[in-house]
Amino acid sequence: MSQFGRKPRVDDDEIVAVFDTAETPVLTTSGVAEQLPISRRTALTRLKALREEGRLESMDVGAKAKVWWAATDQGDESSAPAEPLRDLVGMLDEDEAAAARERSQEWRESFNQEMDASNTSGA
């Protein structure tokens, strides 16, 4: 611990590195916080900032559940943002899997529309 009992500072690269060593393709906010000397709330704040910077991607997978994964640099369809979630679909029952696929498709379409809009407004 550092002076005044505060936990040591964790930099952005350390947070992103958690995803490189993870045993699963995606992590929850709590899963990230457990790997680092930071609280869940701090992890959420930092993960959101890294998503805004384009270093991480995220997706809501339930009413209060969100998963995170490292962003890819490739632009082909095989590296679509929801690709890491494919491994999770088998863990759900058929109704949950169908709902997860639908949410994933809706998110992908929304993301693509936002990207198209930002590309046309920025050009």
Nearest to 64 by CA among 14, 101, 30: 30
pLDDT digits (tens, 9 = 90+) for 38-91: 999 999 999 999 999 999 999 988 888 899 999 986 454 444 556 566 666 556
For the chain, what are the domain ranges?
A: 3-122
Write out the H or E segment, with its range, that includes residue 38: none
Report residue 99 as tokens. 């709902």
d(CA 36, CA 28): 13
Considering only residues 114 and 84, tell me which one the structure prediction assigns the higher pLDDT.
114
pTM for this predicted structure = 0.56
- CATH architecture of the domain formed by 3-122: Orthogonal Bundle (1.10)
